[in-house]
Amino acid sequence: MTTKTWHERAAALNADGRAFIDGWRVDARSGLCFDSLSPVDGRMLAEVARCDVLDVDLAVTAARRAFEDRRWAGMAPAARKRVLIRFADLMLAHRDELALLETMDMGKPIRYSLSVDVQLAQNCIRWYGEATDKIYDQVAPTPEDSLALITREPVGVVAAIIPWNYPMLMAAWKIAPALAAGNSVVLKPSEKAPLSSLRLAELALEAGVPPGVFNVLPGYGDEAGKALALHMDVDCIGFTGSTRVGKQIVQMAGQSNLKRAWTELGGKSANIVCADCPDLDAAVESAIGSIYFNQGESCNAPSRLFVEESIREAFLDKAMKLIPRHAPGDPLDEETVMGAIVDQAQMKTVLGYIEDGKAAGARLLAGGGSARQDSGGLYIEPTLFDGVDGSMRIAREEIFGPVLSVLSFTDLDDAVNQANSTPYGLAAAVWTRDISKAIRTSRALRAGTVHVNQYDNDDITVPFGGYKQSGNGRDKSLHAFDKYTELKTTWIQV
Ligand code: NAD
């Protein structure tokens, strides 16, 4: 589609910011709303319902009713499968509309909203839908006078609280396994990008997910989010977001009904490039492409680059030639690869880290400022610091923006120690043609995912999650069912 057509569609966009409870679009009980502004150009997108504890009560009650009367949990798995596949089909049928909502709401380039966000989100719903009638329970190896069944049952009412960086995909990672397992769900999207989640709820209903089974409550974290985390009738909370808020979620689960609390949190991932990496061009392209993808707003962005000293200069030469390709552009132009930063607060945070890096003595080689000021939107140049020291804040803290910190090393063990010397443990990478070194290093790296000689290859078949303060539990793959099911033992005397 041409940029002009995308702009015409954006101008005609009529997003509905009302909540979705028990199969209906509704205003917040308080009548309060907040404005959703687009980071693309500052335009007003929608008035969004500011849900709070009253709306949380209504949604949880609807979800509980739907769970207890078995309208979804009691459906044959093959029937649930058909509904979820229809849901994925509807997402594809509404691909352009969903992609446009995502781009306008959080600023990512339309090409990626189409090819990554909608595509992976519908595939996630489809994959768990497909899995619904293919998972068997177990019979334990008991003595002959007994029969012991080990069965999985849905936990009940699942609350999902998600961030704004991949709004539709994060929603899919939570709701797909939770719904496939037969739970009812109350989803709270981020206040910064709630629109695609709300539209998903309508498509799910159209596909045949019964009313009350999938509810969406937009609102602020310390209002709707907190009320969900503290609710006595929520059985499980699936949280994705910052480590700071993740800690609060776990505390709130403990303060209330000890609901199962699963956390997928922040990262400061290390990408280690050894002098014997098999393809330096590929390593540079991957390092640069992965840090600037999604404006650097990715939990697993390889934001700490460890380059072996002997290839540092060659690496940086190549990197500097690639960086201009990632300059921010109009997110509605299908050629653009870097879009807008989600909001003013995030913009300020990222620019603050850049100033901090400069003040700490890191060498700013590229970027460092805002861009496209005349667009009315929020953009930051792809930024690269060389000469970064492990003690600097830009090397220790999650920036969540297009900022790469380059550290060099001469001793691989030392690089691995530095890579591990962070509270986070989400992802890491090592580039080497020496297979033993690759295996030793990947074993030593304390991260939920370790990439070898690539960074971003990934799919729904493998688990995703963190070690240490990057969280517990895993999204994606069949392992995600562990979060949303209880194991029951039924011991039968024969
Ligand atoms: P955030 O923690 O500020 O907010 C996440 C969600 O929690 C939002 O919906 C927010 O409204 C809600 N929230 C905030 N305060 C709350 C409270 N007191 N009680 C209940 N809910 C509350 O994070 P963010 O800025 O939206 O997202 C960025 C973070 O998410 C980064 O740290 C990033 O690394 C992380 N992230 C992790 C993964 C992963 O899979 N590990 C994936 C994507 C993003």
**Segment 3-38, tens digit of pLDDT:** 999 999 999 999 999 999 999 999 999 999 999 999
Q: What is the pLDDT of residues 75-106, one digit of tens each?
A: 999 999 999 999 999 999 999 999 999 999 99
Pocket residue to mutate for ligand 1, from 166, 265, 396, most atoms within 8 A of Cβ: 265
Checking if the pLDDT of 258 tops 90, the result is yes
- Residue pair 30/12 in contact (Cβ under 8 Å)? The answer is no
Active-site residue identified among 223, 264, 297, 381: 264
Tell me the C-alpha distance between 457 and 449, whole Å: 11
* Ligand 1 atom at minimum distance from 189 CA: 9
Residue 88 dihedral angles phi and psi, to the nearest 5° = -65, -40
b/e 236-274 (16+ beta carbons within 10 angstroms → b): bbbbbbbbebbebbbebbeeeeebbbbbbbbbbbbbbbb
Percent of the chain clearing pLDDT 70 (strictly above): 100
Q: Is 472 in the pocket of ligand 1 (CB under 6 A)?
A: no
Tell me the C-alpha distance between 405 and 304, whole Å: 5
Q: How far is the CA of 299 from the centre of ligand 1 (A)?
A: 10
Q: Is 467 in the pocket of ligand 1 (CB under 6 A)?
A: no
What sections of 293-447 are H helices per DSSP?
Answer: 309-322, 344-360, 393-396, 412-420, 435-444
Q: Which of 399, 404, 400, 362 lies closest to 382 in space, CA to CA?
A: 404
Neighbours of 26 (CB within 10 A): 16
- Residue pair 415/461 in contact (Cβ under 8 Å)? The answer is no
Neighbours of 14 (CB within 10 A): 6
Q: How far is the CA of 248 from the centre of ligand 1 (A)?
A: 11
Q: How far is the CA of 189 from the centre of ligand 1 (A)?
A: 9
Query: Does residue 299 have an active-site annotation?
Result: yes
Checking if the pLDDT of 351 tops 90, the result is yes
Checking if the pLDDT of 457 tops 90, the result is no
Active-site residue identified among 277, 299, 308, 398: 299
Report the predicted TM-score, pTM, of the whole model to 2 decimal places: 0.98
